[in-house]
């Protein structure tokens, strides 16, 4: 269906819309522009607008909206900031989008326990601004200023995960509204618990298919005493990746170790006006005491030199560090600028670290044979890398070629013991890989989905085919 046709579709159920309007007043929108904005993420996937958007302000309101949708058998699609990359917010079957941005309160900070509880619409940058005076920070950093609810739901990670883990390791507890409107709390503030099934981890990464997360308790960390960042170019991508593998296997506790291939470096240098060589390059960051950081940096630079690393170029001042990491975070938009007017098909895989060089080298060999341009970046300390195929979605041959390359890369990663997505999630773009990755495990996932959401109203058409 075209975007125009979907937008022209009448609301699914006038009685439901009337009920939600009496509940939310002006905070229920059926305006075409609002629906369109909420029917797409940052990816190449087409717009699929919901019938209405509910701007909620409390867990109780979410429960009331979900209960009403359940009574009317209407899909519910949670929406954080819409930065996901596999079509997760698309309203494939219409329904009501629940926009969480109005639930943006930081409910409690406990510096003595190193934890915080936030509403799901709080974004990661706002959380860190709020924490600044406490000397604490929340490290998970997917580049985009995503909501904590969305990050929890996609099990996001990013540049710092090699040191601090992903959302999986950093969510302690949740408040969740289930498909029948019940409100449950999972986990808690204790650092460990052996009490029953781990429901927290069931909802982390569920992409809104099992319930709407309204509150999240997170771990916090002390802002490191010393931080040091550097970039180092390499003659070949294999040299750069072998450096990463040796750094990780040596147990050097790097905070960030990011790879940009020569195509991505050319994009970043032009877009962010940086004075770096256009070669495969590693971006490093070290956290700790001044002596600890110095020691880590010396060990890493010695390993880099063994693999032909040209030199460590240090970003000493905080503003230089910010510029460097901003350039890394802008890598996606820099890539798009390589082909003006193109859309980015961003995809990621993750493999055991010992297979990383092989996986990247074979993937680059595929790209060399292809007509498509696809810069490569990676959170390589975790064995995770991304490609952005620069495509014109209106050209079937380009879509077919991107599909072919993506299938080959994912199958390669799976054959190496890896996963079809390290952090972007499944949405509907990667659903078809799940049976290969999880086998019979998918039927257990389906059983869980059907028992928690028997009417299949929670973000239908995503993650698990029901």
Ligand X SMILES: Cc1cc2nc3c(=O)[nH]c(=O)nc-3n(C[C@H](O)[C@H](O)[C@H](O)COP(=O)(O)OP(=O)(O)OC[C@H]3O[C@@H](n4cnc5c(N)ncnc54)[C@H](O)[C@@H]3O)c2cc1C
Query: Which parts of this chain interact with ligand X (CB under 6 A)?
Result: 41-42, 77-85, 88-89, 100, 120, 142-144, 146-147, 149-151, 153-154, 156-158, 207-208, 212-213, 332, 423-425, 459, 462
Q: How far is the CB of 397 from ligand X (least distance, A)?
A: 26
Q: What is the DSSP string of 363-381?
A: HHHHHHTSSS---EEEEGG
Tokens standing for residue 254: 């790097």
Nearer to ligand X, 109 or 146 (CB): 146
Q: Identify the CA nearest to 425 among candidates 179, 122, 88.
A: 88
Nearer to ligand X, 68 or 212 (CB): 212
Q: Are 248 and 256 in contact (CB under 8 A)?
A: no
State CA 56 to chain mean position distance: 23
Nearer to ligand X, 303 or 351 (CB): 351
Nearer to ligand X, 218 or 293 (CB): 218
Q: What is the DSSP string of 63-106?
A: HHHHHHHHHTT--EEEESSS--SSSTT--BTB-EEEE-TT---E
Q: How far is the CB of 26 from ligand X (least distance, A)?
A: 22
Element housing 186 (H / E):
strand 183-187
Q: How far is the CB of 352 from ligand X (least distance, A)?
A: 19
N-to-C CA span, the chain: 22
**């990780």: which residue's tokens?**
248
Q: How far is the CB of 120 from ligand X (least distance, A)?
A: 4
Nearer to ligand X, 154 or 363 (CB): 154
Q: How far is the CB of 243 from ligand X (least distance, A)?
A: 21
Q: How far is the CB of 334 from ligand X (least distance, A)?
A: 10
Q: What is the DSSP string of 1-58?
A: --HHHHHHSPPS-HHHHHHHHHHHGGGEE--HHHHHHHT--SSSSPP---SEEEE--S
Tokens standing for residue 433: 């890989």
Q: Are 410 and 385 in contact (CB under 8 A)?
A: no
Q: How far is the CB of 349 from ligand X (least distance, A)?
A: 13
Tokens standing for residue 394: 């209106």
Nearer to ligand X, 154 or 170 (CB): 154
Nearer to ligand X, 364 or 424 (CB): 424
Nearer to ligand X, 162 or 241 (CB): 162
Tell me the C-alpha distance between 150 and 161, whole Å.
17
Q: Are 343 and 393 in contact (CB under 8 A)?
A: yes
Nearer to ligand X, 39 or 288 (CB): 39
Q: Are 96 and 53 in contact (CB under 8 A)?
A: yes
Burial 176-191 (b: 16+ CB within 10 A, else e): bbbbbbebeebbeeee
Q: How far is the CB of 9 from ligand X (least distance, A)?
A: 20
Tokens standing for residue 160: 């710092």
Q: How far is the CB of 29 from ligand X (least distance, A)?
A: 16
Element housing 436 (H / E):
helix 434-438
DSSP character at residue 46:
P
Q: How far is the CB of 77 from ligand X (least distance, A)?
A: 5
Nearer to ligand X, 303 or 342 (CB): 342
Tell me the C-alpha distance between 150 and 121, whole Å.
8
């Amino acid at each position: 269906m075209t975007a125009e046709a979907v937008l022209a579709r009448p609301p699914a159920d006038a009685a439901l819309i009337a009920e939600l309007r009496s509940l939310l007043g002006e905070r229920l929108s059926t305006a075409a522009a609002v629906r369109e904005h909420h029917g797409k993420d940052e990816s190449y996937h087409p717009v699929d607008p919901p019938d209405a958007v509910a701007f909620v302000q409390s867990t109780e309101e979410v429960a009331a909206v979900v209960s009403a949708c359940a009574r009317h058998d209407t899909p519910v699609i949670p929406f954080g900031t819409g930065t996901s990359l596999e079509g997760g917010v698309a309203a494939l079957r219409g329904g009501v989008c629940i926009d969480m941005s109005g639930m943006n309160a930081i409910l409690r900070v406990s510096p003595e326990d190193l934890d915080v509880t936030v509403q799901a619409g709080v974004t990661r940058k706002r959380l860190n601004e709020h924490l600044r005076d406490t000397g604490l920070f929340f490290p998970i950093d997917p580049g985009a200023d995503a909501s904590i609810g969305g990050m929890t739901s996609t099990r996001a990670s990013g540049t710092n995960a090699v040191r601090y883990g992903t959302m999986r390791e950093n969510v302690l507890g949740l408040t969740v509204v289930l498909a029948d409107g019940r409100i449950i709390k999972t986990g808690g503030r204790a650092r460990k618990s052996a009490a029953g099934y781990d429901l927290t981890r069931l909802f982390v990464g569920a992409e809104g298919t099992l319930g709407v997360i309204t509150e999240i308790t997170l771990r916090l960390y002390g802002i490191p005493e010393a931080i040091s960042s550097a970039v180092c170019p390499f003659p070949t991508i294999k040299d750069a990746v072998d450096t990463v593998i040796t750094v990780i296997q040596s147990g050097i506790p790097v905070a960030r170790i990011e790879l940009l291939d020569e195509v991505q470096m050319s994009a970043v240098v032009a877009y962010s006006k940086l004075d770096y060589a256009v070669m495969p390059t590693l971006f490093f960051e070290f956290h700790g005491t001044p002596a600890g950081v110095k020691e880590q940096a010396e060990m890493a630079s010695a390993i880099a030199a063994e693999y032909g690393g040209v030199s460590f170029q240090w970003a000493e001042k905080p503003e230089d560090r910010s510029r460097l990491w901003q350039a890394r975070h802008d890598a996606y938009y820099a890539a798009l600028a390589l082909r003006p007017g193109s859309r980015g098909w961003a995809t990621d895989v993750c493999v055991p670290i010992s297979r990383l060089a092989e996986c990247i080298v074979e993937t680059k060999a595929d790209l060399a044979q292809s007509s498509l341009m696809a810069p490569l970046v990676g959170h390589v300390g975790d064995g995770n890398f991304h490609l952005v195929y620069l495509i014109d979605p209106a050209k079937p041959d380009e879509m077919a070629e991107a599909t072919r390359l993506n299938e080959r890369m994912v199958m390669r990663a799976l054959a190496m013991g890896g996963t079809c997505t390290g952090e972007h999630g499944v949405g509907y773009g990667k659903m078809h890989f799940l049976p290969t990755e999880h086998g019979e495990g998918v039927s257990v996932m389906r059983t869980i989905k059907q028992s928690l959401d028997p009417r299949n109203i929670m973000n239908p058409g995503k993650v698990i085919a029901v």
